Amino acid sequence: MTETKKILRALAGETLDTPPIWMMRQAGRYLPEYRATRAQAGDFLSLCYNSELAAEVTLQPIRRYGFDAAILFADILLLPQALGADLWFVTGEGPRLSTIETQADFDRLTPVSEIDAVLSPVYDTVRLLSRELPEETTLIGFAGMPWTVATYMVAGRGTPDQGPAHALKDSNPALFDQIIDLLSEATVEYLSRQIEAGAEVVKLFDSWAGSLKGDDFDRYALEPARKIIAALKARHPGVPVIAFPRGAGARYEGFARATGADCVALDDGVTPVWAAAHVQKDGCVQGNLKSSHMVTGGQALVDETRRIVDAFGKGPHIFNLGHGITPDADPENVQLMIDTVRGR
């Protein structure tokens, strides 16, 4: 089956005439069918934990567009919830979590050995998808990276500059290291269970890696990625890993070599020409169309899509956005992007 799945071929280092394509947040609020299923579920967390509905929204963009991969519908904050954090979503504002500010807060968290009691519906979703997806479609599992998940656990919500997490790591590095280590261990277990349930590729999202500078980037973005990937490779040697240290800038160069990632996903803060020369030399890259093109469309979308395909055309490449598609995107622009990539 690997021979027929274009994303697996690209991840193995093959240069393809037409790059495979999928899209971050491809199951989401820009699609009317997603909004209908979300309403049926009642709320976001209920949707995440209802295996049949979560599988349905994962399949919706595959039916509509024929992407080369489906990514499991879930949320990076399900893992801290499984570790004992309180999690809820505020309509129009996003997630809220109980905070970790002291050693006592940390000590109240659940052992990693108990997370499956909460996360088992996620694994059931993966099993459903592995049976229902078209044979040519690759199933991607995912998790948030420890630094990014920790920023939410410390602040209790998303913040513009991840200031609370930076403050804790600077004022109490011993406690912060415990948080990172716990999340690293839990991430390995979580992704390993996804793979056992049928995920063929896993992706590590470090959405806030760009706020780490110098040694902090090495300590809290690169090193946890290296440890997690090594542990996953030891358990599941044939399963590729995509790493996304969003905002890494020049630190994208060498990231695959340093961490063992099979592919580095790129945000739109780096140019395809630069990334082809400095990142793709080490293997597969993924990206990196600005998600705003999914809103504005037109010839600018077509031109930029072609520039990206051309820039990465001499090496292994998976076409994607530089970040997740936004709720105000036009579904017709997604089709235009796909048609442009595939030369229609």
To the query of whether residue 306 is one of the catalytic residues in this protein, the response is no
- Active-site option among 49, 65, 123, 152: 152
To the query of whether residue 219 is one of the catalytic residues in this protein, the response is no
To the query of whether residue 64 is one of the catalytic residues in this protein, the response is no
To the query of whether residue 152 is one of the catalytic residues in this protein, the response is yes
- Active-site option among 9, 25, 246, 251: 25
- What's the rounded Cα separation, in Å, for the pair 34 and 301? 24
- What's the rounded Cα separation, in Å, for the pair 295 and 201? 29
- Active-site option among 9, 38, 193, 251: 38
- 211 touches 248 (CB < 8 A): no
- What's the rounded Cα separation, in Å, for the pair 186 and 188? 5
- What's the rounded Cα separation, in Å, for the pair 243 and 235? 18
To the query of whether residue 25 is one of the catalytic residues in this protein, the response is yes
List Cα–Cα distances, 104 to 51, 175, 210, 332, in angstroms: 34, 10, 29, 51
Q: 3-class secondary structure for 268-292? A: CCCCHHHHHHHCHHHCEEEEEECCC
Short-list 15, 2, 111, 14, CA closest to 314: 15
Active site residues: 25, 29, 38, 75, 152
